[in-house]
Structure 1
Amino acid sequence: MLTHRHPRVDVLGVAVSAVTPHSAVEEIARWIATGERSYVCVTGVHGVMECQRDPALRHIHNASGLTVPDGMPMVWAGHRAGATWMRRVYGPDLMLAVLERAAEEGWSSFFYGGAEGVPELLGERLVGRIPGLKIVGAYSPPYRPLSAQESGATVATINASGADLVWVGLSTPKQERWMAEHRDRLEAPVLLGVGAAFDFHAGLKPQAPAWMQQRGLEWTYRLVKEPRRLWRRYLRNNPAYLTRIALRPPRLTTPEGAL
Protein backbone atom coordinates (compact mmCIF):
# COMPACT_ATOMS: atom_id res chain seq x y z
CA MET A 1 0.00 0.00 0.00
CA LEU A 2 1.16 3.52 -0.72
CA THR A 3 2.63 5.94 1.77
CA HIS A 4 0.32 8.93 2.10
CA ARG A 5 1.92 11.70 0.01
CA HIS A 6 -0.53 14.44 0.96
CA PRO A 7 -1.44 15.90 4.35
CA ARG A 8 -4.66 14.55 5.77
CA VAL A 9 -7.36 16.03 7.94
CA ASP A 10 -8.55 13.89 10.83
CA VAL A 11 -12.35 14.14 10.67
CA LEU A 12 -13.73 12.06 13.55
CA GLY A 13 -10.92 9.56 13.08
CA VAL A 14 -11.19 9.40 9.28
CA ALA A 15 -8.07 10.67 7.48
CA VAL A 16 -9.42 12.81 4.62
CA SER A 17 -6.80 13.80 2.05
CA ALA A 18 -6.12 17.55 1.95
CA VAL A 19 -6.18 17.77 -1.84
CA THR A 20 -7.65 19.68 -4.76
CA PRO A 21 -9.18 18.18 -7.91
CA HIS A 22 -5.92 18.82 -9.76
CA SER A 23 -3.63 17.28 -7.12
CA ALA A 24 -5.91 14.23 -6.84
CA VAL A 25 -5.70 13.58 -10.59
CA GLU A 26 -1.92 14.07 -10.51
CA GLU A 27 -1.55 11.55 -7.70
CA ILE A 28 -3.59 8.98 -9.62
CA ALA A 29 -1.45 9.62 -12.70
CA ARG A 30 1.65 9.00 -10.58
CA TRP A 31 0.38 5.59 -9.49
CA ILE A 32 -0.12 4.57 -13.10
CA ALA A 33 3.27 5.94 -14.17
CA THR A 34 5.12 4.13 -11.37
CA GLY A 35 3.04 0.95 -11.27
CA GLU A 36 2.10 1.52 -7.63
CA ARG A 37 -1.28 0.14 -6.66
CA SER A 38 -3.87 1.69 -4.39
CA TYR A 39 -7.50 2.78 -4.19
CA VAL A 40 -9.48 6.00 -3.90
CA CYS A 41 -12.31 6.52 -1.43
CA VAL A 42 -14.72 9.35 -2.22
CA THR A 43 -16.03 10.44 1.15
CA GLY A 44 -18.55 12.82 2.66
CA VAL A 45 -20.57 12.92 5.87
CA HIS A 46 -22.24 9.58 5.10
CA GLY A 47 -18.88 7.79 4.78
CA VAL A 48 -17.44 9.41 7.89
CA MET A 49 -20.48 8.48 9.98
CA GLU A 50 -20.50 4.90 8.68
CA CYS A 51 -16.90 4.73 9.88
CA GLN A 52 -18.00 5.71 13.40
CA ARG A 53 -20.11 2.56 13.52
CA ASP A 54 -17.60 0.26 11.81
CA PRO A 55 -13.90 0.36 12.82
CA ALA A 56 -12.99 -1.97 9.94
CA LEU A 57 -14.49 0.51 7.47
CA ARG A 58 -12.57 3.35 9.12
CA HIS A 59 -9.36 1.36 8.65
CA ILE A 60 -10.19 0.88 4.96
CA HIS A 61 -10.59 4.64 4.48
CA ASN A 62 -7.39 5.37 6.36
CA ALA A 63 -5.40 2.78 4.38
CA SER A 64 -6.38 4.27 1.01
CA GLY A 65 -3.97 6.07 -1.27
CA LEU A 66 -6.49 8.93 -1.34
CA THR A 67 -9.66 9.57 0.63
CA VAL A 68 -10.92 12.64 -1.17
CA PRO A 69 -13.36 15.24 0.27
CA ASP A 70 -16.52 14.53 -1.69
CA GLY A 71 -18.76 16.89 0.29
CA MET A 72 -18.41 20.51 1.34
CA PRO A 73 -18.54 19.60 5.07
CA MET A 74 -15.23 17.77 4.54
CA VAL A 75 -13.75 20.88 2.91
CA TRP A 76 -15.01 23.11 5.72
CA ALA A 77 -13.49 20.69 8.24
CA GLY A 78 -10.19 20.91 6.37
CA HIS A 79 -10.24 24.70 6.33
CA ARG A 80 -11.01 24.73 10.04
CA ALA A 81 -7.99 22.50 10.63
CA GLY A 82 -5.71 24.81 8.62
CA ALA A 83 -5.76 23.13 5.18
CA THR A 84 -6.92 26.33 3.50
CA TRP A 85 -5.91 25.05 0.05
CA MET A 86 -8.29 22.09 0.25
CA ARG A 87 -11.10 21.95 -2.31
CA ARG A 88 -14.04 19.66 -2.90
CA VAL A 89 -13.21 16.59 -5.01
CA TYR A 90 -16.70 15.59 -6.08
CA GLY A 91 -16.86 11.96 -7.20
CA PRO A 92 -18.64 12.50 -10.55
CA ASP A 93 -16.34 15.42 -11.42
CA LEU A 94 -13.25 13.44 -10.42
CA MET A 95 -14.42 10.63 -12.68
CA LEU A 96 -14.70 12.95 -15.68
CA ALA A 97 -11.34 14.62 -14.96
CA VAL A 98 -9.52 11.29 -14.67
CA LEU A 99 -11.22 9.89 -17.78
CA GLU A 100 -10.31 12.98 -19.80
CA ARG A 101 -6.71 12.47 -18.71
CA ALA A 102 -7.08 8.76 -19.52
CA ALA A 103 -8.09 9.58 -23.10
CA GLU A 104 -4.98 11.75 -23.46
CA GLU A 105 -2.62 9.20 -21.90
CA GLY A 106 -4.14 6.01 -23.32
CA TRP A 107 -5.20 4.60 -19.95
CA SER A 108 -7.94 1.98 -20.10
CA SER A 109 -10.97 1.61 -17.82
CA PHE A 110 -13.16 -1.20 -16.48
CA PHE A 111 -16.58 -0.40 -14.97
CA TYR A 112 -17.71 -2.64 -12.08
CA GLY A 113 -21.08 -2.06 -10.44
CA GLY A 114 -24.48 -0.56 -11.02
CA ALA A 115 -27.73 -2.29 -11.94
CA GLU A 116 -27.87 -4.66 -14.90
CA GLY A 117 -26.99 -2.81 -18.09
CA VAL A 118 -25.84 0.36 -16.30
CA PRO A 119 -22.05 -0.06 -16.66
CA GLU A 120 -22.45 -0.79 -20.38
CA LEU A 121 -24.71 2.26 -20.83
CA LEU A 122 -22.24 4.33 -18.82
CA GLY A 123 -19.44 3.28 -21.15
CA GLU A 124 -21.44 4.21 -24.23
CA ARG A 125 -22.31 7.65 -22.84
CA LEU A 126 -18.74 8.38 -21.77
CA VAL A 127 -17.20 7.28 -25.07
CA GLY A 128 -19.59 9.66 -26.81
CA ARG A 129 -18.59 12.45 -24.44
CA ILE A 130 -14.81 11.91 -24.30
CA PRO A 131 -13.15 11.20 -27.67
CA GLY A 132 -10.42 8.58 -27.52
CA LEU A 133 -11.62 7.03 -24.26
CA LYS A 134 -10.60 3.38 -23.96
CA ILE A 135 -13.01 1.04 -22.15
CA VAL A 136 -11.99 -2.60 -21.84
CA GLY A 137 -14.82 -4.12 -19.85
CA ALA A 138 -17.98 -3.71 -17.77
CA TYR A 139 -19.74 -5.93 -15.26
CA SER A 140 -22.86 -5.55 -13.12
CA PRO A 141 -22.55 -7.93 -10.15
CA PRO A 142 -25.62 -9.50 -8.50
CA TYR A 143 -26.89 -7.84 -5.31
CA ARG A 144 -26.11 -10.96 -3.29
CA PRO A 145 -22.52 -11.69 -2.12
CA LEU A 146 -20.42 -13.44 -4.76
CA SER A 147 -19.21 -16.97 -4.16
CA ALA A 148 -15.46 -17.54 -3.99
CA GLN A 149 -15.60 -19.00 -7.50
CA GLU A 150 -17.53 -16.01 -8.87
CA SER A 151 -15.19 -13.58 -7.17
CA GLY A 152 -12.16 -15.34 -8.62
CA ALA A 153 -13.70 -15.30 -12.09
CA THR A 154 -14.38 -11.56 -11.78
CA VAL A 155 -10.79 -10.87 -10.74
CA ALA A 156 -9.53 -12.95 -13.67
CA THR A 157 -11.78 -11.06 -16.10
CA ILE A 158 -10.64 -7.64 -14.86
CA ASN A 159 -6.98 -8.64 -14.90
CA ALA A 160 -7.28 -10.11 -18.40
CA SER A 161 -8.75 -6.81 -19.62
CA GLY A 162 -5.50 -5.00 -18.82
CA ALA A 163 -7.39 -2.10 -17.25
CA ASP A 164 -5.40 0.72 -15.67
CA LEU A 165 -8.46 2.10 -13.87
CA VAL A 166 -11.19 0.03 -12.22
CA TRP A 167 -14.26 2.16 -11.48
CA VAL A 168 -16.45 0.75 -8.71
CA GLY A 169 -20.07 1.88 -8.45
CA LEU A 170 -21.53 -0.04 -5.50
CA SER A 171 -22.30 2.85 -3.07
CA THR A 172 -20.79 3.38 0.38
CA PRO A 173 -19.77 1.29 2.32
CA LYS A 174 -20.02 -1.67 -0.05
CA GLN A 175 -17.63 -0.25 -2.65
CA GLU A 176 -14.94 0.58 -0.08
CA ARG A 177 -15.06 -2.95 1.32
CA TRP A 178 -14.89 -4.39 -2.19
CA MET A 179 -11.82 -2.32 -3.11
CA ALA A 180 -9.97 -3.24 0.08
CA GLU A 181 -10.82 -6.93 -0.32
CA HIS A 182 -9.72 -7.07 -3.96
CA ARG A 183 -6.85 -4.59 -4.00
CA ASP A 184 -4.06 -7.16 -3.73
CA ARG A 185 -5.66 -9.47 -6.29
CA LEU A 186 -6.18 -6.90 -9.02
CA GLU A 187 -3.32 -5.80 -11.28
CA ALA A 188 -4.79 -2.40 -12.19
CA PRO A 189 -2.87 0.40 -10.46
CA VAL A 190 -6.02 2.35 -9.53
CA LEU A 191 -9.37 1.38 -8.02
CA LEU A 192 -11.89 4.21 -7.56
CA GLY A 193 -15.15 3.96 -5.62
CA VAL A 194 -17.45 6.56 -7.16
CA GLY A 195 -20.94 5.33 -6.24
CA ALA A 196 -23.75 7.38 -7.76
CA ALA A 197 -21.45 8.72 -10.51
CA PHE A 198 -22.40 5.63 -12.53
CA ASP A 199 -26.08 6.63 -12.59
CA PHE A 200 -25.32 10.33 -13.06
CA HIS A 201 -23.06 9.89 -16.07
CA ALA A 202 -25.25 7.17 -17.57
CA GLY A 203 -28.03 9.75 -17.58
CA LEU A 204 -30.26 7.79 -15.20
CA LYS A 205 -30.33 10.28 -12.30
CA PRO A 206 -30.02 14.09 -12.23
CA GLN A 207 -27.30 15.88 -10.29
CA ALA A 208 -27.96 18.75 -7.91
CA PRO A 209 -27.49 22.27 -9.34
CA ALA A 210 -24.00 23.68 -8.90
CA TRP A 211 -25.16 26.37 -6.45
CA MET A 212 -26.57 23.70 -4.12
CA GLN A 213 -23.36 21.65 -4.34
CA GLN A 214 -21.21 24.68 -3.51
CA ARG A 215 -23.30 25.49 -0.43
CA GLY A 216 -23.29 21.96 0.93
CA LEU A 217 -26.97 21.45 0.12
CA GLU A 218 -26.70 18.57 -2.33
CA TRP A 219 -28.07 16.21 0.31
CA THR A 220 -31.39 18.11 0.33
CA TYR A 221 -31.71 17.75 -3.43
CA ARG A 222 -31.00 14.02 -3.33
CA LEU A 223 -33.37 13.56 -0.39
CA VAL A 224 -36.21 15.20 -2.34
CA LYS A 225 -35.45 13.01 -5.36
CA GLU A 226 -35.13 9.72 -3.42
CA PRO A 227 -36.86 10.19 -0.04
CA ARG A 228 -37.68 6.53 0.62
CA ARG A 229 -34.09 5.42 0.03
CA LEU A 230 -32.20 8.31 1.63
CA TRP A 231 -34.28 9.83 4.44
CA ARG A 232 -32.88 7.55 7.12
CA ARG A 233 -29.27 8.18 5.99
CA TYR A 234 -29.46 11.96 6.09
CA LEU A 235 -31.70 12.43 9.12
CA ARG A 236 -29.56 10.02 11.10
CA ASN A 237 -26.11 11.09 9.97
CA ASN A 238 -26.22 14.87 9.54
CA PRO A 239 -27.26 15.90 13.10
CA ALA A 240 -24.90 13.30 14.60
CA TYR A 241 -22.02 14.59 12.48
CA LEU A 242 -22.58 18.20 13.58
CA THR A 243 -22.71 17.18 17.24
CA ARG A 244 -19.57 15.07 17.08
CA ILE A 245 -17.51 17.55 15.06
CA ALA A 246 -18.29 20.24 17.64
CA LEU A 247 -16.94 17.98 20.39
CA ARG A 248 -13.95 16.73 18.37
CA PRO A 249 -12.64 19.46 16.06
CA PRO A 250 -10.80 18.31 12.92
CA ARG A 251 -7.01 18.45 12.92
CA LEU A 252 -4.40 18.49 10.19
CA THR A 253 -1.77 15.73 10.09
CA THR A 254 1.29 15.50 7.85
CA PRO A 255 2.53 11.92 7.53
CA GLU A 256 6.23 11.29 7.06
CA GLY A 257 7.08 11.58 3.37
CA ALA A 258 4.01 13.70 2.58
CA LEU A 259 4.23 16.48 0.02
Structure 2
Amino acid sequence: MSSPFEVIEVGGIPFAATNLEGATDWVVNDRREGAGTGVSVRLSNSYCVSAAHSDRDYSAVLKGPGVNFADGTPVNWVMRLIGGTASDHVGVRPVRGPSFFEATLDKGRRYGLRHHFVGTTEETLSLLTDRVEELYPGIEVAGTYAPPFAAFSKEFVDDIITKVGPSAPDIVWVGLGAPKQDFVTKAIADRTDYVAVGVGAAFDFVAGTVSEAPSFVQNSGFEWLYRLASEPKRLWRRYLFGNSTFVRLASRDIRKFLGRSGGRT
Protein backbone atom coordinates (compact mmCIF):
# COMPACT_ATOMS: atom_id res chain seq x y z
CA MET A 1 0.00 0.00 0.00
CA SER A 2 2.01 2.94 -1.25
CA SER A 3 1.14 6.50 -0.29
CA PRO A 4 0.11 8.86 -3.11
CA PHE A 5 0.86 11.94 -1.01
CA GLU A 6 3.70 14.38 -1.31
CA VAL A 7 5.63 14.78 1.92
CA ILE A 8 6.48 17.83 4.03
CA GLU A 9 9.00 17.36 6.83
CA VAL A 10 8.44 19.00 10.19
CA GLY A 11 11.16 18.50 12.77
CA GLY A 12 12.63 15.85 10.51
CA ILE A 13 9.40 13.81 10.45
CA PRO A 14 7.68 13.28 7.06
CA PHE A 15 4.00 14.25 6.98
CA ALA A 16 1.54 13.55 4.17
CA ALA A 17 0.45 16.75 2.42
CA THR A 18 -3.29 16.15 2.51
CA ASN A 19 -6.44 16.71 4.54
CA LEU A 20 -9.18 14.72 6.29
CA GLU A 21 -11.05 13.89 3.09
CA GLY A 22 -7.91 12.84 1.24
CA ALA A 23 -6.70 10.66 4.10
CA THR A 24 -10.08 8.98 4.51
CA ASP A 25 -10.54 8.32 0.80
CA TRP A 26 -7.07 6.81 0.52
CA VAL A 27 -7.54 4.30 3.33
CA VAL A 28 -11.10 3.32 2.42
CA ASN A 29 -10.44 2.99 -1.31
CA ASP A 30 -7.33 0.92 -0.72
CA ARG A 31 -9.15 -1.53 1.55
CA ARG A 32 -12.16 -1.89 -0.73
CA GLU A 33 -9.83 -2.65 -3.63
CA GLY A 34 -8.16 -5.39 -1.61
CA ALA A 35 -4.60 -4.08 -1.57
CA GLY A 36 -3.51 -7.06 0.52
CA THR A 37 -0.57 -5.42 2.30
CA GLY A 38 -0.29 -4.11 5.82
CA VAL A 39 0.30 -0.45 6.55
CA SER A 40 0.92 1.59 9.67
CA VAL A 41 -0.95 4.89 9.86
CA ARG A 42 0.14 7.40 12.50
CA LEU A 43 -1.93 10.40 13.56
CA SER A 44 1.05 12.42 14.74
CA ASN A 45 1.06 15.75 16.55
CA SER A 46 3.62 18.16 17.95
CA TYR A 47 4.24 15.89 20.93
CA CYS A 48 5.11 13.01 18.59
CA VAL A 49 7.60 15.20 16.73
CA SER A 50 9.17 16.21 20.04
CA ALA A 51 9.29 12.65 21.37
CA ALA A 52 10.92 11.37 18.18
CA HIS A 53 13.63 14.03 18.52
CA SER A 54 14.87 12.41 21.75
CA ASP A 55 14.02 8.76 20.98
CA ARG A 56 15.95 7.19 18.11
CA ASP A 57 13.69 4.12 17.96
CA TYR A 58 10.55 6.21 17.77
CA SER A 59 12.10 8.44 15.15
CA ALA A 60 12.83 5.34 13.06
CA VAL A 61 9.17 4.29 13.29
CA LEU A 62 7.86 7.68 12.14
CA LYS A 63 10.43 7.88 9.35
CA GLY A 64 9.87 4.29 8.27
CA PRO A 65 7.17 2.53 6.22
CA GLY A 66 3.67 3.85 6.67
CA VAL A 67 2.10 7.28 6.69
CA ASN A 68 2.07 10.18 9.16
CA PHE A 69 -0.95 12.46 9.07
CA ALA A 70 -0.77 15.80 10.88
CA ASP A 71 -3.03 15.39 13.90
CA GLY A 72 -2.97 18.92 15.20
CA THR A 73 -3.05 22.50 14.05
CA PRO A 74 0.53 23.45 15.11
CA VAL A 75 2.10 20.82 12.83
CA ASN A 76 -0.26 21.84 10.05
CA TRP A 77 0.64 25.51 10.42
CA VAL A 78 4.31 24.71 9.91
CA MET A 79 3.54 22.40 6.97
CA ARG A 80 1.58 25.08 5.18
CA LEU A 81 4.28 27.67 5.77
CA ILE A 82 7.29 25.65 4.63
CA GLY A 83 5.65 23.17 2.26
CA GLY A 84 6.33 25.04 -0.97
CA THR A 85 4.62 23.46 -3.97
CA ALA A 86 3.33 20.56 -1.87
CA SER A 87 1.18 22.92 0.17
CA ASP A 88 0.35 25.22 -2.76
CA HIS A 89 -1.72 22.81 -4.82
CA VAL A 90 -3.16 20.58 -2.08
CA GLY A 91 -5.61 21.61 0.62
CA VAL A 92 -3.20 20.80 3.44
CA ARG A 93 -5.25 20.71 6.63
CA PRO A 94 -5.08 18.81 9.93
CA VAL A 95 -6.15 15.17 9.93
CA ARG A 96 -7.43 15.06 13.50
CA GLY A 97 -7.40 11.54 14.92
CA PRO A 98 -10.97 11.34 16.27
CA SER A 99 -12.34 12.99 13.11
CA PHE A 100 -10.40 10.57 10.89
CA PHE A 101 -11.68 7.65 12.97
CA GLU A 102 -15.31 8.67 12.59
CA ALA A 103 -15.02 9.66 8.93
CA THR A 104 -13.45 6.31 8.04
CA LEU A 105 -16.08 4.37 9.99
CA ASP A 106 -18.79 6.29 8.17
CA LYS A 107 -17.41 5.94 4.65
CA GLY A 108 -16.16 2.41 5.19
CA ARG A 109 -19.59 1.04 6.08
CA ARG A 110 -20.75 1.70 2.52
CA TYR A 111 -18.26 -0.92 1.33
CA GLY A 112 -18.56 -3.44 4.15
CA LEU A 113 -15.17 -2.72 5.72
CA ARG A 114 -14.54 -4.60 8.94
CA HIS A 115 -13.09 -2.84 11.99
CA HIS A 116 -11.39 -4.15 15.12
CA PHE A 117 -10.84 -1.88 18.14
CA VAL A 118 -7.77 -2.48 20.34
CA GLY A 119 -6.99 -0.57 23.53
CA THR A 120 -8.48 1.19 26.58
CA THR A 121 -10.83 -0.96 28.77
CA GLU A 122 -13.54 -3.54 28.11
CA GLU A 123 -16.11 -1.14 29.53
CA THR A 124 -15.07 1.69 27.21
CA LEU A 125 -14.92 -0.65 24.22
CA SER A 126 -18.48 -1.82 24.96
CA LEU A 127 -19.68 1.79 25.12
CA LEU A 128 -17.71 2.58 21.96
CA THR A 129 -19.23 -0.30 20.02
CA ASP A 130 -22.74 0.66 21.07
CA ARG A 131 -22.12 4.26 20.10
CA VAL A 132 -20.65 3.63 16.64
CA GLU A 133 -23.41 1.15 15.82
CA GLU A 134 -25.90 3.86 16.76
CA LEU A 135 -24.11 6.55 14.75
CA TYR A 136 -23.30 4.43 11.70
CA PRO A 137 -26.00 1.81 11.06
CA GLY A 138 -24.65 -1.14 9.10
CA ILE A 139 -21.07 -0.74 10.32
CA GLU A 140 -19.19 -4.01 10.80
CA VAL A 141 -17.36 -4.11 14.13
CA ALA A 142 -15.40 -7.33 13.73
CA GLY A 143 -14.20 -7.38 17.32
CA THR A 144 -12.70 -5.55 20.28
CA TYR A 145 -9.79 -6.27 22.60
CA ALA A 146 -8.49 -4.47 25.68
CA PRO A 147 -4.96 -5.81 26.15
CA PRO A 148 -3.49 -5.96 29.66
CA PHE A 149 -1.36 -3.00 30.67
CA ALA A 150 2.20 -3.78 29.64
CA ALA A 151 5.19 -2.26 27.91
CA PHE A 152 5.60 -2.69 24.17
CA SER A 153 7.24 -6.02 23.34
CA LYS A 154 7.05 -8.82 20.81
CA GLU A 155 4.92 -10.78 23.26
CA PHE A 156 2.53 -7.86 23.65
CA VAL A 157 2.02 -7.66 19.87
CA ASP A 158 1.81 -11.47 19.57
CA ASP A 159 -1.11 -11.39 22.00
CA ILE A 160 -2.92 -8.65 20.05
CA ILE A 161 -2.47 -10.36 16.69
CA THR A 162 -3.69 -13.66 18.15
CA LYS A 163 -6.83 -11.99 19.49
CA VAL A 164 -7.51 -9.93 16.36
CA GLY A 165 -6.75 -12.60 13.72
CA PRO A 166 -9.99 -14.66 13.85
CA SER A 167 -12.10 -11.56 13.16
CA ALA A 168 -10.34 -10.93 9.80
CA PRO A 169 -10.60 -7.13 9.93
CA ASP A 170 -9.72 -4.65 7.23
CA ILE A 171 -8.66 -1.97 9.71
CA VAL A 172 -7.32 -2.34 13.25
CA TRP A 173 -7.77 0.80 15.32
CA VAL A 174 -5.26 1.06 18.19
CA GLY A 175 -5.96 3.39 21.10
CA LEU A 176 -2.95 2.98 23.39
CA GLY A 177 -1.48 6.49 23.34
CA ALA A 178 1.66 7.67 21.56
CA PRO A 179 4.37 6.61 21.17
CA LYS A 180 3.35 3.08 22.23
CA GLN A 181 0.50 2.77 19.73
CA ASP A 182 2.79 3.72 16.85
CA PHE A 183 5.23 0.91 17.70
CA VAL A 184 2.24 -1.44 17.86
CA THR A 185 0.73 -0.38 14.52
CA LYS A 186 4.10 -0.83 12.82
CA ALA A 187 4.48 -4.33 14.27
CA ILE A 188 0.94 -5.27 13.22
CA ALA A 189 1.44 -3.92 9.69
CA ASP A 190 4.77 -5.74 9.37
CA ARG A 191 3.15 -9.08 10.19
CA THR A 192 -0.36 -8.87 8.72
CA ASP A 193 -2.26 -7.41 5.78
CA TYR A 194 -4.30 -5.04 7.97
CA VAL A 195 -4.29 -1.28 8.00
CA ALA A 196 -3.32 -0.49 11.60
CA VAL A 197 -4.11 3.03 12.80
CA GLY A 198 -3.09 4.65 16.09
CA VAL A 199 -5.89 6.97 17.18
CA GLY A 200 -5.01 8.02 20.74
CA ALA A 201 -8.02 9.22 22.72
CA ALA A 202 -10.56 8.76 19.91
CA PHE A 203 -12.13 5.72 21.61
CA ASP A 204 -12.79 7.69 24.80
CA PHE A 205 -14.15 10.69 22.93
CA VAL A 206 -16.61 8.69 20.82
CA ALA A 207 -17.59 6.44 23.74
CA GLY A 208 -18.24 9.54 25.83
CA THR A 209 -15.90 8.59 28.68
CA VAL A 210 -13.70 11.68 28.15
CA SER A 211 -14.94 15.14 27.27
CA GLU A 212 -14.01 16.33 23.77
CA ALA A 213 -13.06 19.92 23.06
CA PRO A 214 -15.67 22.08 21.26
CA SER A 215 -15.16 22.50 17.53
CA PHE A 216 -13.91 26.09 17.79
CA VAL A 217 -11.22 24.94 20.24
CA GLN A 218 -10.23 22.04 17.94
CA ASN A 219 -9.74 24.51 15.08
CA SER A 220 -7.90 27.11 17.14
CA GLY A 221 -4.64 25.26 17.66
CA PHE A 222 -5.21 25.12 21.40
CA GLU A 223 -6.98 21.79 21.82
CA TRP A 224 -3.90 20.67 23.76
CA LEU A 225 -4.69 23.35 26.36
CA TYR A 226 -8.25 22.05 26.72
CA ARG A 227 -6.94 18.52 27.22
CA LEU A 228 -4.34 19.72 29.69
CA ALA A 229 -7.06 21.41 31.77
CA SER A 230 -9.09 18.18 31.64
CA GLU A 231 -6.22 15.87 32.66
CA PRO A 232 -3.48 18.03 34.22
CA LYS A 233 -1.78 15.33 36.31
CA ARG A 234 -1.33 13.01 33.34
CA LEU A 235 -0.52 15.53 30.63
CA TRP A 236 1.34 18.47 32.17
CA ARG A 237 4.82 17.05 31.60
CA ARG A 238 4.03 16.04 28.02
CA TYR A 239 2.81 19.47 27.03
CA LEU A 240 5.29 21.54 29.02
CA PHE A 241 8.40 19.85 27.65
CA GLY A 242 6.95 18.57 24.39
CA ASN A 243 5.62 21.93 23.23
CA SER A 244 8.86 23.75 24.01
CA THR A 245 10.85 21.19 22.01
CA PHE A 246 8.41 21.40 19.11
CA VAL A 247 8.65 25.21 19.01
CA ARG A 248 12.44 24.94 18.82
CA LEU A 249 12.33 22.34 16.01
CA ALA A 250 9.65 24.21 14.08
CA SER A 251 11.55 27.47 14.39
CA ARG A 252 14.60 25.80 12.90
CA ASP A 253 12.54 24.52 9.94
CA ILE A 254 11.04 27.97 9.38
CA ARG A 255 14.46 29.65 9.47
CA LYS A 256 15.76 27.18 6.90
CA PHE A 257 12.74 27.80 4.69
CA LEU A 258 13.12 31.57 4.92
CA GLY A 259 16.81 31.26 4.12
CA ARG A 260 16.06 29.27 0.96
CA SER A 261 13.28 31.60 -0.13
CA GLY A 262 15.18 34.80 0.62
CA GLY A 263 12.71 35.82 3.31
CA ARG A 264 9.66 35.51 1.04
CA THR A 265 6.68 33.48 2.36
Q: TM-score, normalised by structure 2?
A: 0.88
Structure-2 residue corresponding to 1:220: 225
RMSD of aligned Cα (Å): 1.8
Structure-1 residue corresponding to 2:108: 102
Secondary structure of 1:137 counterpart: strand
Worse-matched range after superposition: 234-243 or 151-160: 151-160
- What's the CA shift string for 1:101-131, capped at 9, x where partnerless? 1211100100000123222221111111111
Secondary structure of 2:37 counterpart: coil
- What's the CA shift string for 1:153-179, capped at 9, x where partnerless? 431331211101100000000100111
Worse-matched range after superposition: 134-143 or 29-38: 29-38
Say yes or no: does 1:137 pair with 2:143.
yes
Say yes or no: does 1:117 pair with 2:118.
no
After superposition, residues 48-59 of structure 1 pair within 5 angstroms as: 48-59=49-60
| CA shift for structure 1 position 209 | 1.3
Matched residue count? 249
Query: Take 1:95 and 1:35, find their aligned partners in 2: how far apart are those partners?
Result: 21
Query: Take 2:158 and 2:178, find their aligned partners in 1: how far apart are those partners?
Result: 22
| CA shift for structure 1 position 149 | 6.0
Say yes or no: does 1:21 pair with 2:20.
yes
| CA shift for structure 1 position 30 | 3.4
Say yes or no: does 1:171 pair with 2:172.
no
Secondary structure of 1:117 counterpart: helix
Query: Take 1:170 and 1:214, find their aligned partners in 2: how far apart are those partners?
Result: 24
Structure-2 residue corresponding to 1:235: 240
Structure-2 residue corresponding to 1:257: none
Q: Label 1:87 to 1:148 Cα distance change in 2 as closer, same or farther (>3 A).
A: closer
Say yes or no: does 1:194 pair with 2:193.
no
Letter in 2 for 1:137: G
Q: Label 1:102 to 1:245 Cα distance change in 2 as closer, same or farther (>3 A).
A: same
Say yes or no: does 1:244 pair with 2:245.
no
Q: Label 1:151 to 1:41 Cα distance change in 2 as closer, same or farther (>3 A).
A: closer
Q: Label 1:48 to 1:126 Cα distance change in 2 as closer, same or farther (>3 A).
A: same
Secondary structure of 1:10 counterpart: strand
- % identical aligned pairs: 31
Query: Take 2:215 and 2:190, find their aligned partners in 1: how far apart are those partners?
Result: 37
| CA shift for structure 1 position 245 | 1.5
| CA shift for structure 1 position 80 | 0.7
Secondary structure of 2:102 counterpart: helix
Letter in 2 for 1:74: V
Q: Label 1:19 to 1:110 Cα distance change in 2 as closer, same or farther (>3 A).
A: same
Structure-2 residue corresponding to 1:62: 63
Structure 1: gaps of 5 or more residues:
252-259
- What's the CA shift string for 1:170-202, capped at 9, x where partnerless? 0000100111122222232x1110010010011
| Equivalent in 165, 182, 190 of residue 159 of structure 1 | 165
Q: Label 1:104 to 1:192 Cα distance change in 2 as closer, same or farther (>3 A).
A: same
Q: Label 1:109 to 1:18 Cα distance change in 2 as closer, same or farther (>3 A).
A: same
Query: Take 1:209 and 1:147, find their aligned partners in 2: how far apart are those partners?
Result: 36
| CA shift for structure 1 position 147 | 7.5
Secondary structure of 1:248 counterpart: helix
Contact 1:117 1:140 in 2 (8 A): no
